[in-house]
Amino acid sequence: MRVALCSALVLCMAALASGEGPDPIAGEWTVLTVFGGAEMESKLVVTRGEHGSLAARYTDSRGGVTALQDVKFEGGVLTFNRKAGPRVIGFEGKVSGDRMAAQHLLGARKIPAFAARGAEALAALKAERAKANERGSDLEEDYRRHSRRVVARDAFPVLFDPKLTPAAEAKGIRDDEPVIGVAINGEAKAYPIIIMGRHELANDTCGGIPIAASW
């Protein structure tokens, strides 16, 4: 038994030394890119040449094939650049076995992606993504259900430069009516709560200063 184990260990070490062991990055990867609320499926093929050099080819969701530039695999992270029309899109993916957590880099924008190599890893990834999308759909439906109870946008018409009446001439307003009072640079204005309750916001000026009275 000890001899057999030693022989297996020697064979394993020999395979690694000769580069015959499993390559951590080479192969065909299926990339799922999350964009615009949907997931697009692309193919990434990574090959290793002489002296460990890497080359890669990317087939996007529309079938467009692009040879990639600056392909590197360092510290378990795959990086490369690809041209999409006049734009250059970067890519970086952290590899863990036959799975990859990745992102496309478009300027300062980062577009999330996931990748798997092999049928088994891809099936597991798609199952996980399906569950995640189901949870997202539940949250979306929950949001829609509750958002119906929220007051519609612009339901309270905002006042702009409202026409105010001198207090002595005001009609329909009680003497004890609560108001929002503002006094600036010798000018004083009052916004009755009974009116502000229907508008919630008044954009005005007082004493030459722009103000926003809110209730």
203 and 163 within one domain = yes
Q: Which domain holds residue 183?
A: 159-214
Residues 122 and 186 in one domain: no
Count of domains in the chain?
2
CATH number where 38 lies = 2.40.128.20
* pLDDT (0 to 100) of residue 38: 78
pLDDT tens digits along 176-209: 889 999 999 999 999 999 888 888 899 999 999 9
Is 31 contained in some domain? yes
Mean pLDDT value across the chain: 83
Structure confidence by residue, pLDDT tens digits, 116-132: 999 999 999 999 988 88
Give pLDDT, residue 16: 37
Q: What is the pLDDT of residue 84?
A: 81
Same-domain status, 70 and 115 = yes
* pLDDT band (50, 70, 90) for residue 134: confident
Q: 125 and 171 in one domain? A: no
Domain membership flag for residue 190? yes
- Reported as a pLDDT band with limits 50, 70 and 90, residue 20 is low
Q: Across residues 25-30, what is the average pLDDT?
A: 96
pLDDT value for 169: 85
Asked if residue 165 is part of any domain, the answer here is yes
Per residue in 57-116, pLDDT (tens digit) is 999 988 989 989 999 999 999 999 998 878 899 999 999 999 999 999 988 889 999 999
- Evaluate if residue 6 carries a pLDDT over 90: no
Tell which of 85, 116, 133 closes a domain: 133
Could you please report the per-residue DSSP string of the chain?
-HHHHHHHHHHHHHHHHTT-SPPSS-EEEEEEEEETTEEEEEEEEEEE-GGG-EEEEEE-TTS-EEE-EEEEEETTEEEEEEEETTEEEEEEEEEETTEEEEEEEETTEEEEEEEEESHHHHHHHHHHHHHHHHHHHHHHHHHHHHHTTSPPTTSSPPEES-----GGG--S--TT--EEEEEETTEEEEEEHHHHHHHSEEEEEETTEEEEEE-
